[in-house]
Amino acid sequence: MNKSRDWNIVDDELNRKLKQLQEIRTQLDDQSTEQLLQNKDQNQEYNSDVNYYKEFWRYYILNEMAIKKVNELHSQNQKLHELIGDIDKLQQELHIALSYRHKKKNRRTSQEIEKSFVCPYEKCNKQYGSDVSLNLHIKLKHDGGNKTDREKFAKMIIEAQQNGETITDLNINIKFPPGYLDQYKNQFLNTQQNQLNQERQSIEQD
């Protein structure tokens, strides 16, 4: 009997404690609800129809997309700056190249030019630093024509002599430099002889 009474006492005590805990829990729940209602009243923008959890993630994703776009634009901006730098460098190099191109050429003085091309006409002591200058002098001062004209007419004369034709019929209107015809004739005949030798060798090989 004593043991049974002791267990009843313990059971009653436990029930009493549980009841106290339930009362405390109920009070806490009531306080939490009241606090939420107060916060709701204080926050005028609160909307019970809005799912703030979904809105949070939606804005989070939009923010991440915006950050990604900003990073892409920043990368493109850096590439543009690099391209602008390359273009500036090319423009500088082009400017330097053009400045060298248009730079005034240092011309040699008359005393510095080696005049080894002497006029072949008698009583003409003109000397020039290039074959072009000498040929121009011969054409303008001695009516000797240019180099091409002299070679053409000299060839016509030699071929006419070989064929027994009259030279006066060739209508030659230039004055050859002294010794030019003999010099050209030797070169012309040597060229003809070399061609004949090559043709003979080719025939013999066949």
CA–CA–CA angle 11, 14, 17 (5° rounding): 155
Q: Which residue positions in the chain have pLDDT lower than 50?
A: 1-5, 44
**How many domains is the chain partitioned into structurally?**
1
Q: What is the pLDDT of residue 3?
A: 45
Residue 94 lies in a domain: no
Residue 51 lies in a domain: no
Range of the domain at 121: 117-205
Answer for the pair 164, 140: CB distance below 8 angstroms, yes or no: no
Q: Dump pLDDT digits (tens) for 145-201.
A: 888 888 888 888 888 888 877 776 667 778 888 888 888 888 888 888 888 888 888
Answer for the pair 180, 150: CB distance below 8 angstroms, yes or no: yes
If we measure between CA atoms, which residue out of 160, 164, 166, 165 comes closest to residue 185? Answer: 160
Residue 87 lies in a domain: no
Residue 176 lies in a domain: yes
Residue 134 to residue 128: CA distance in whole angstroms:
6
Residue 186 lies in a domain: yes
In DSSP terms, 128 is beta-bridged to 117
CA 41 to chain centre: 69
Q: What is the pLDDT of residue 2?
A: 47
Answer for the pair 128, 141: CB distance below 8 angstroms, yes or no: no
Residue 55 lies in a domain: no
Q: Torsion angle, CA of 83/85/86/89, rounded to 10 degrees?
A: 160
Residue 200 lies in a domain: yes
Residue 97 lies in a domain: no
